[in-house]
Amino acid sequence: KSLNKWFWAEAVNAAVFILNRTGSSTVEGKTPYELWFNDSFNINQLKVFGSKVWAHVPKERRLKWDAKSRKGIFVGYSEESKGYRIYIHSSRKIKILRDVIFVNSNVKFVELDSPKCENVVQLIEKEDVPEPVNENQEEIIENLKEVGENS
């Protein structure tokens, strides 16, 4: 609701990326990603939308006394490469980067015996669902508001 309109497309793309890799289809109980690429996806690679990150600046792009990293916000996943879409505060641009450190991405995923979605629904009941994302939600919204005010 309080997310800057500029970030809505990024949020939708990140959600679709996750759904394609975690949701089940009607074909053999596999995810759309498994059907398309004939390979499974490691859910431990998923990050929290809006997390603060530090993006590494390569030696070729900085001078001796320049900062070795830049502050940014995680806004999605790259479809072209194994990288993340990072909004860089200083340039006010989104860049696709691999060398990033996530500051507050402390959501832990439970290891399941089977990656099928039916098992997830059976294993997790409403009372048992952890709420680490909701705790970070206010901080994520503040990060994105801060970016919206600076743009």
- Does residue 54 contact residue 72 with C-beta atoms inside 8 Å? yes
87 against 37, higher pLDDT: 87
- Does residue 111 contact residue 125 with C-beta atoms inside 8 Å? no
* Widest pairwise Cα distance in the chain: 56
- Nearest CA to 54 among 13, 20, 87? 87
Answer yes or no: is pLDDT of 56 > 80.
yes
Tens of pLDDT along 43-55? 778 888 888 899 9
Instruction: Give the C-alpha distances (Å, rounded to integers) separating 20 from 48, 68, 84, 114.
Output: 16, 34, 16, 17
For residues 121-142, give the mean pLDDT: 53
Tens of pLDDT along 15-38? 888 887 777 666 777 777 787 777
Supply the pLDDT for residue 85: 93
Averaged pLDDT of the chain: 73
114 against 49, higher pLDDT: 49
Q: Euclidean distance between the first and final Cα of the chain, in Å? A: 18
- Nearest CA to 73 among 42, 46, 108, 101? 101
For the entire predicted model, the pTM comes to 0.61
Supply the pLDDT for residue 45: 80
